[in-house]
Amino acid sequence: MTKRVVVGVTGASGAPYTIRLIQLLMEKGVEVHLCVSGLGKRLLFEESGVKKLNAEELGVSAFNSNLVLHNDRDLGAPIASGTFLHDGMIVLPCSSNTLGSIASGITSTLVQRAALVCLKERRKLVLGHRESPLSLIDIENIKRTTEAGAIVAPLSPGFYMNPVTISDVVDFMVGKLVDLLDIDHEMPVRWG
């Protein structure tokens, strides 16, 4: 059966991770439900030159039919409901703002709402948080979301596979995240 993953993108640094993740999921035949916050759109543009959200700009036109875009302001979208069945959600990158909203249980965007739905439905939720250094507020929000069932995966790539290019670093981090979603891949992440 086709796997279905919700990908939320928020306004933290790390757009190359997002693009590589979407490409990898789609290469693997996963149906991707993509929702990008306002600041997430800005980061996709600033860091990866994505001007418009579509399959072509994201480099996945070959798999266009498996990409479903959702408006972050549309709290009535299918992914806002627990009745929408899927295999997990990843927020990549996850800003401290979105982390805090999820931790508080108060949501005003579709990314935040879809993430909270994962927690109430006991579905997989991976938060690729990026901020440095961390305030005590971030640390407490990481603890709270973890206790509620989320997996907080800080965007801190390892270097033990001896990366040479930025793309190697990105592939490593994305491979680790896709492991958390239980999707098979051939990214170079395995020591030994």
Ligand X SMILES: Cc1cc2nc3c(=O)[nH]c(=O)nc-3n(C[C@H](O)[C@H](O)[C@H](O)COP(=O)(O)O)c2cc1C
Give contact residues for ligand X (rule: CB under 6 A): 10-13, 37, 39-40, 42-43, 46, 95-98, 109, 130-131
Nearest to 94 by CA among 68, 118, 63: 118
* Min separation Cβ 30 and ligand X, Å: 23
* Min separation Cβ 156 and ligand X, Å: 12
> Within 13 Å and on the Cβ side, how many CA atoms surround 130?
20
* Min separation Cβ 192 and ligand X, Å: 32
5 bridge partner residues: 32
Nearer to ligand X, 43 or 60 (CB): 43
186-192 contacts at long range (C-beta below 8 A, 24 or more positions apart): 187/24, 188/161, 189/161, 191/160, 191/161
Nearer to ligand X, 40 or 157 (CB): 40
Nearer to ligand X, 8 or 175 (CB): 8
How far is it, in rounded angstroms, from Cα 178 to Cα 21?
8
7 bridge partner residues: 34, 90
* Min separation Cβ 87 and ligand X, Å: 24
In sequence order, what are the residues at sequence separation of 6 or more whose Cβ sits closer than 8 angstroms to the Cβ of residue 52? none
Residue 27, H or E segment: helix 15-27
Nearer to ligand X, 11 or 175 (CB): 11
* Min separation Cβ 106 and ligand X, Å: 13
Query: What residue number has its CB nearest to ligand X?
Result: 11
How far is it, in rounded angstroms, from Cα 183 to Cα 28?
8
Nearer to ligand X, 13 or 23 (CB): 13
